[in-house]
Amino acid sequence: MKEPKSKLFSQRLFRLHVAAGITFSIIMYITIFFGVFAIFLPQIQAWEKPSRYIEKVDIKDIDYNDIINSVLKNPDFPKDNILVNLPGRMGDPAVSIGNRFVKPVVFNPATQKEIKDEDKSITNLAAFLNELHYGQPLKLIGRLSFGFVAVGTMLLIITGLILIYLFKFKYKATNQQATFSTVHVKVFTWTFIPFLLITLSGAVMNVGLVSAGPMSKILTKGEASSIDGVVGTVLFPQNRPVKKENIEAKMLPLSELLKKAHEANPQLTFKQIKLLNWNDTTARADFIGYNPYKPFLNGGIFNIPYVSFNIHTGKLIENKKVLDSVVPVFIAEGIFFLHFLFGIDIFSRTLIALMMAMCGIGIGFGVMLWLEKKAKKFEGKITFYHWMGKISLATMIGVIPATAILFLLQWVLPFELEDRVLWQQGMFYNAWLATLFWSFYRINSYQASKEFFISGGILFILSVLLHWIYYNPTLLPSTILSVDIVLLFLGVLCMFIAKKLPKNRTDAKIFWSSKKRRN
């Protein structure tokens, strides 16, 4: 007997969604989990470096010329294309003077004195969390597989949306399965647009750009072998270098020019200054900023507004506004905006982080829904013990104590310790692996998840307390202290969840069913 065409279609649609979901869920969850931390990369980066526990200074009151001249006294420092990162860029309260080819020199803007910067070999917490977010620890293999997962996730979004459209999901949860389904469906009905944009930009970065070689070769009829050769001039326009006249000239104070730049385009918040031909009559400064009034059109990585001056004469050279770009750049920027959030304020960041955390929870409930359907078959016969359940328990919940260890070790390990970062990351991996062992060892997954939550909570709280023992919390700048408070809150939340969660399957059935049955 043959099934009718439409029934076959919906069966396949459902099956495709479930099969792809189980295949991609774990890596997608990891991406989202560390992605939420990566959203707060600027804040964590300032928190992890004691050298950045300095007060904020208004960017217009800093004597940049003095700082730059003292850096240029070092004959090894390149004289051209100097990048000055203004305080507040990526949450960094310090001024850093850099160049593409050298390590930046960092200054305290209040005292104009050089800061001993902790480099990647001493502390690398925020950057490491960001690398875990896109699979970088496994290099190209990791990046590619995370990219394929992003493509798979888009397939899940497409099939999921068709499923929501075709089937009328009833939002009256009477048993656990229905609760899981309701949460899964509701979360993604509300968040699919930002989720899709973020997944799409992730897929572009990890798969799209890597695989664009043949396409660019066809498009340029064999001239360009990588995508940069095709779209580079549009996406990353570079100003042509200005020829030096080799006449030594006096440089106007950059802080004054910054004020003029603000007058030229009052909507911009300035983040960076690019300097060309310093100490020459042709010296040019590009004041690069972000326009918060035009989100999705700038703030990603492609469309960057700036104001340029000649530093010697103070004459305005160029005033590039957000809307001075072509449509494809806006499309690219719109897709990438939510993923990069360069220069975006903490409020929007928190909003997007919460939205993505919801997506992570939605994925978790999707997997639980699948497991619940499997578990039903064994109802009342034997305890349900499934490899997928154990692996997702370790990756999804076990990652919490593992990450908490990463934060705790930031203050346990002394900064002078050799291979400090290696110890920190190695212990993180081992802890995460240990949670996998623990998930398989504990027959009752409910108990194991409670233990993961409670240990994660305690470790997060300990990391904050240890931080406060080393650094007096009353003297910390408010930005650093707020990271502590958020971590403390996260720890308490984990412990609260651990206390609330059901102890075993019988409890769980009551816990996840409708209110009527609980009373």
3 state DSSP class of 86: coil
Q: Does 155 bind another protein (CB under 8 A)?
A: yes
Query: Looking only at residues 281 through 340 of this chain, which bind another protein when binding is defined by CB under 8 A?
Result: 326-329, 331-332, 335
Q: Does 163 bind another protein (CB under 8 A)?
A: no
The secondary structure of the chain in percent helix, strand, coil, rounded to multiples of 5, reads 60, 10, 30
Only one of the segments 62-70, 148-156, 386-394, 495-503 lies at the binding site for another protein (rule: CB under 8 A); that segment is 148-156
What number of H helices and E strands is found in the chain? 18, 8
**Closest Cα partner for 94 from 53, 126, 66, 130?**
53
Give the distance between the most distant pair of CA atoms in the chain. Answer: 90
Interface size with another protein, residues (CB under 8 A): 51
- Residues 406 and 106: their CA atoms lie apart, in Å, by 26
Q: Does 160 bind another protein (CB under 8 A)?
A: no
| Min CB(348)–another protein separation in Å | 22
Q: Are 435 and 452 in contact (CB under 8 A)?
A: yes
Choice between 1 and 475, CB closer to another protein = 1
Choice between 241 and 328, CB closer to another protein = 328
Tell me the one-letter amino acid at 120.
Answer: K
Which of 19, 166, 351, 510 forms a contact with another protein (CB under 8 A)?
A: 19
**Closest Cα partner for 90 from 299, 248, 239?**
299
Q: Are 123 and 415 in contact (CB under 8 A)?
A: yes
Q: 337 to each of 222, 326, 329, how far by Cα in Å?
A: 32, 16, 12
Only one of the segments 92-100, 147-155, 389-397, 431-439 lies at the binding site for another protein (rule: CB under 8 A); that segment is 147-155
Which of 32, 44, 67, 204 forms a contact with another protein (CB under 8 A)?
A: 204
Give the length of the chain. 519
Q: Does 203 bind another protein (CB under 8 A)?
A: yes
Choice between 1 and 141, CB closer to another protein = 1
Q: Does 382 bind another protein (CB under 8 A)?
A: no
Choice between 334 and 473, CB closer to another protein = 334
Q: 438 to each of 395, 398, 432, 433, 449, how far by Cα in Å?
A: 12, 9, 10, 9, 10
What is the number of other CB atoms lying within 10 angstroms of the CB of residue 326?
9
| Min CB(337)–another protein separation in Å | 12
Only one of the segments 227-235, 263-271, 345-353, 385-393 lies at the binding site for another protein (rule: CB under 8 A); that segment is 227-235
Choice between 9 and 167, CB closer to another protein = 9
Q: Does 216 bind another protein (CB under 8 A)?
A: yes
**Which stretches of the chain bind another protein, using CB under 8 A?**
1-3, 5, 7-13, 15-16, 19, 147, 150-152, 154-155, 157-159, 200, 203-204, 207-209, 211-212, 214-216, 218-221, 227, 230-231, 233-235, 326-329, 331-332, 335
